[in-house]
A and B are shown apart, each in its own frame.
Chain A
């Protein structure tokens, strides 16, 4: 045994001494190994931290640890995807209460949140429409003689506002002339604007307000296209359960949706990004970039663009200004700018021409002096939002929901990904998605009763609607014979017959079409429908409805999040046992494209490591081959004096291992120190998108033992592999080589 130690000692000594003797080779090989180990630790920790951050963001903002949806769905579920308008085709889980019961029966499940995700286009209003409606109301009061002094003052102000809008439109037409062919512009439109802005028109307005209003509404309003369509993605859920399960969620403005009430919560990000006055939003963005990321207007192309857009696009503000506000703005801006310019548009344009020196001052001035006179948000907390969405069967369904407030997720305030989804109560969601809710079913039932309707099967529909061939062949229906006309009953039971304009009296045979989800009576645009919708908003639903109805998917929060695969298997098994078509997927699968980025990050890292170490392998192997060739005589001598091949192999492998251990160890330690330091300081998110990946404003790297072990493992494997060829060469060195000093 002692001899073995001594032999190992001599091998180690030869190995160490050789490492020192050929320092250049050792430094090259060691340097590569050190760099590789350091890279694996640092980049591995970075990717792991980003993946952990993304996981926290995805799991904590909407996905939960596991998502469950119907196995009968045509498309896979994507809770974070959806940059397209088309939602995935999911089959519904019709009885959430049962689903919940089954899921909560799985041991590792902590909580279950009902969900459904969809998108809708919401019109956000047109300034001139609103102004003209207001003016019409004031005219009505004036004409009725009930106008107060305030009304009269408002009447004059609103006239000034409309005049202001006309000036903006006239400017638009002038600009358009410079850009477009004269023929492309409608001369009638220009003439209408010119007429509307003329003093004669306004002189006549007071005498003939209704005709003037009609002219403005028909000829001018269609030209003022400033209404934006908002595309809102929303998750229908139980707001209380959602807030409880996703504890990073917090209400920023307003309140949460009260229990049992229909309502809508804007994601703060969407509210700021899409609903806020664009000029103000751009000012906020410039401020954030300057203060948080240290960027400069002078050097950053995006900030320059924001300044340019703010300066060129004052129209959005100008449209909001009535006469008193115009005067107020003129006065304030003249003082602020030290200018005698009378044109407010020009004053605003030059005011927004900000640079790094004056930005902070003007930002403060805007919010202190100008913003209070402006509608900063197109939709305010407390407004009622009319959301129109296509149901699954293609019909347009609309629901009025009050906006209760805004929310965001702690640490993800600036993330467009985490902030992409708004929140809606599940009952309204079901209406919009076209589920037959209990309310609707009751409503339809009452209508059927009222109309004395009966259901017919699809097969007999033609005969029931138009009569049998024999009946149709009859030249005249017998007097008093039952009508053969069927129809989908209107809200008030009025229906149209087969002939245009033929009113058909309700008969005992009026028929309501088969009630298919999504084929509820069309909502209509009439006053009655509007009232019905408004009444619906006020209506309180029974919270039990949330539980009993249909959902598209459900987020499952786990007690032990490390056991996702086992829990998925348990959920799928429990679903099968309960006869429910449940399909459970990981947060990563559910998050679609974003979730796949986690895999992509890891794949990129793997490929990077592979490439680096493949290159390292070749370089190290080459260096060792060179070193071996230089030592042929020494190796031959050792062989001649009695060293077995394995002694030579051990010597070279030990050299490789020593280099791997010393330099690989140093690389790992250095990498760990870097990760610790960077982990403490944190890497600041370079842009808003990174907030999601970093799960906050800074990425704090965490040191995983996995990366340390992986780095050492890779280093040893690479060292071992790269020593193989040189060791094989060395083992083949013939002891005769020792004698070959000179041939005799």
Chain B
């Protein structure tokens, strides 16, 4: 399998006033295309920092982060933005939809930024995708008119509309009830399997992890181990990682 993400000895330090806080301390990770990978770890373990580096919204202090074969440290701000636009899809914990746009417009937005498709092509793709996530009836609605699950479906549709090689999801089910969270996870899994899209998501939910093809565990900014989903459940990740404060 081809590697879509390669993280080599990546560190990331944040400056808090005069103090430098290390968020990642030399993490190595390889993600193959089509994986459904979960990043787990307690609060402050560096899950979101690792996702930020992989998502090209941040660059490592040292080490290498390669996404789709490109070393992110060598890319300009504009090139990073283009990489995000064309290669990566984002699903946020708080959905992060543009409130003033309709469901259709929110999903269409990345296509507009790409400027690759004409109006009809965009409409066709957006509508098909919204039907696929079960929102065919809601394309003219505003986000405020939808439930939490529906909003996350819109976010998933937005993340997938450009047919990215990689989708990053930061705690995608954290703000959803268990049934809705399960549905979302099923949808992501289905898309992973049908579209062969790589998914990397952070979670602390054992049920979510059970769907993962592999689970990467972090602690104190360091790589701990990499298990299969079943191994992770067996290893009692959920027990070891307290629910509270884990994201």
- Chain A interface (Cβ within 8 Å of chain B)? 2-4, 6-7, 10, 13-14, 17-18, 20-21, 633-634, 636-645, 647, 734-736, 738-739, 741-744
Q: A383 CA to B44 CA in the complex, in Å?
A: 109
B170 and A641 contact, CB distance less than 8 A: no
**Which residues of B sit under 8 angstroms from A742, Cβ to Cβ?**
93, 171, 174, 247
Q: B178 within 8 Å of A by Cβ?
A: no
- Chain B interface (Cβ within 8 Å of chain A)? 43-45, 47-48, 51-52, 55, 57-58, 77-78, 81-82, 84-86, 90, 92-94, 96, 98-101, 105, 108-110, 112-119, 122, 158, 162, 170-171, 174, 202, 204, 246-247
Q: Which of A20, A636, A641 contacts B110 (CB 8 A)?
A: A641
Task: Please judge, given known A-B contacts A738-B90, A744-B47, whether A644 and B78 are in contact too, CB under 8 Å.
Answer: yes
Q: Which of B47, B94, B101 contacts A14 (CB 8 A)?
A: B101
> Given A10-B105, A743-B247, list of 13 further CB < 8 A pairs?
A2-B118, A6-B112, A10-B109, A14-B100, A634-B99, A637-B98, A640-B96, A642-B81, A642-B113, A643-B81, A734-B57, A738-B90, A742-B174
A735 and B84 contact, CB distance less than 8 A: yes
Q: Which of B84, B100, B119 contacts A18 (CB 8 A)?
A: B100
Q: A739 CA to B158 CA in the complex, in Å?
A: 16
Can you pick out 6 interface pairs between chain A and chain B where the beta carbons lie within 8 Å of each other?
A2-B118, A3-B115, A643-B81, A739-B48, A739-B57, A739-B170
Q: A734 CA to B55 CA in the complex, in Å?
A: 13
Task: Please judge, given known A-B contacts A14-B100, A633-B96, A736-B57, whether A644 and B247 are in contact too, CB under 8 Å.
Answer: no
B100 and A640 contact, CB distance less than 8 A: no
Q: Smallest distance from the beta carbon of B86 to chain A beta carbons, Å?
A: 7
Q: Which of A639, A739, A741 contacts B52 (CB 8 A)?
A: A739
Q: Smallest distance from the beta carbon of A471 to chain B beta carbons, Å?
A: 108
B119 and A641 contact, CB distance less than 8 A: no
Q: A633 CA to B96 CA in the complex, in Å?
A: 8
Task: Please judge, given known A-B contacts A6-B112, A7-B112, A13-B105, whether A744 and B246 are in contact too, CB under 8 Å.
Answer: yes
Q: Smallest distance from the beta carbon of B78 to chain A beta carbons, Å?
A: 6
B113 and A738 contact, CB distance less than 8 A: no
B110 and A21 contact, CB distance less than 8 A: no
A739 and B51 contact, CB distance less than 8 A: yes
In the complex, residue of chain B having the shortest beta-carbon distance to the beta carbon of A743:
B48
B170 and A6 contact, CB distance less than 8 A: no
Q: A135 CA to B237 CA in the complex, in Å?
A: 135
In the complex, residue of chain B having the shortest beta-carbon distance to the beta carbon of A744:
B247
Q: Which of B82, B101, B170 contacts A642 (CB 8 A)?
A: B82
In the complex, residue of chain A having the shortest beta-carbon distance to the beta carbon of B108:
A10
Q: Smallest distance from the beta carbon of A689 to chain B beta carbons, Å?
A: 57
A7 and B115 contact, CB distance less than 8 A: yes
B247 and A642 contact, CB distance less than 8 A: no
B92 and A637 contact, CB distance less than 8 A: yes
**Which residues of B sit under 8 angstroms from A642, Cβ to Cβ?**
81-82, 84-86, 110, 113-114, 162
Q: A738 CA to B92 CA in the complex, in Å?
A: 8
**Which residues of B sit under 8 angstroms from A741, Cβ to Cβ?**
92-94, 170-171
Q: A20 CA to B142 CA in the complex, in Å?
A: 14
A21 and B100 contact, CB distance less than 8 A: yes
B81 and A743 contact, CB distance less than 8 A: no
Q: A14 CA to B102 CA in the complex, in Å?
A: 11
B52 and A2 contact, CB distance less than 8 A: no
User: Which of A17, A18, A647 has most chain B Cβ within 10 Å?
Assistant: A17
**Which residues of B sit under 8 angstroms from A637, Cβ to Cβ?**
90, 92, 96, 98
Q: Which of A4, A14, A645, A744 contacts B170 (CB 8 A)?
A: A744
